[in-house]
Structure 1
Amino acid sequence: MTLPFFPIWFVDIFGSITMIILSFLCLSVVLELKRSDPYNVIWTYLLWLCFGLAAFAISRSAGHILKQQLLFSEREFIWDSIRPFSGAINTLTFVFVASVTLFFERIWKIHQQVLKDKQDLQSAHEKLFYLNQNLEDLVAKRTESLAASESKYRRIFEVSKDMILVSKKDGLIVDMNPAGYKMLGYNESEFLGKKKYFQNVFAKDANWTIIQKTLEKMGFISSFEIELKRKDDSRIHCLLSGSLDRDSSETENTIHFLVKDIEQRKLIENQMAQTDKLASLGQLSAGIAHGINNPLGIILGYTQLLIRDEDVENEKYADLKIIEKHAKSCRSVVEDLLNFARSSQTEKEAISIHEAMDEVLNFIQHHSELYNIEIEKDYDTNIPPLLLDEKKIKQALMNLIMNAKHAVGKSGTIRLSTAYNRSTSQVTIKIADTGCGIEKKNISRIFDPFFTTKPTGEGTGLGLSVSYGIIKNHGGNISVESEPGKGTTFSVVLTAASRNLGG
Structure 2
Amino acid sequence: MKNAEIFKALKSFEIFKDIPDHQLHWLIDKGEVRTLEVGHPIFLPGDPIDNTLIILKGEFRFFAISGEQEREIGTKVSGEVSGFLPFSRGKIASGKGKVIEEATILFLHRSYEKEMLREHYELSQALVHEMTSRVREFTNFQKQTEKMAALGKLSAGLAHELNNPASAILRSSLELKKHLAHQPEKFKKVIKIKLTDETIDRINDLLFEKITNHSGHKTLIQRKELEDNLGYLLEDFEVECAFELAEDLADFGFEEKDLHQLASMVTKEDFGPVLHWMGDNLMIEKMVNDIQESSERISKLVKSVKVYTHMDQSPEKKRIDIHEGIVNTLNILNHKIKSNNTEVIQDFDHSIPPLLLHVSEINQVWTNLIDNALDAVSEVENPKITIKTWQQNNEVKICMIDNGKGIPPEIASRIWEPFFTTKSMGNGTGLGLELVMNIVERHQGNIKMKSQPGSTTFEICLPIE
What is the TM-score when the length of structure 1 is the normalising length?
Answer: 0.31
TM-score in terms of structure 2 length: 0.34
Larger radius of gyration: 1
More helix by proportion, 1 or 2? Answer: 1
The structure, 1 or 2, with the larger RCO (C-alpha pairs under 8 Å, 6+ apart) is 2
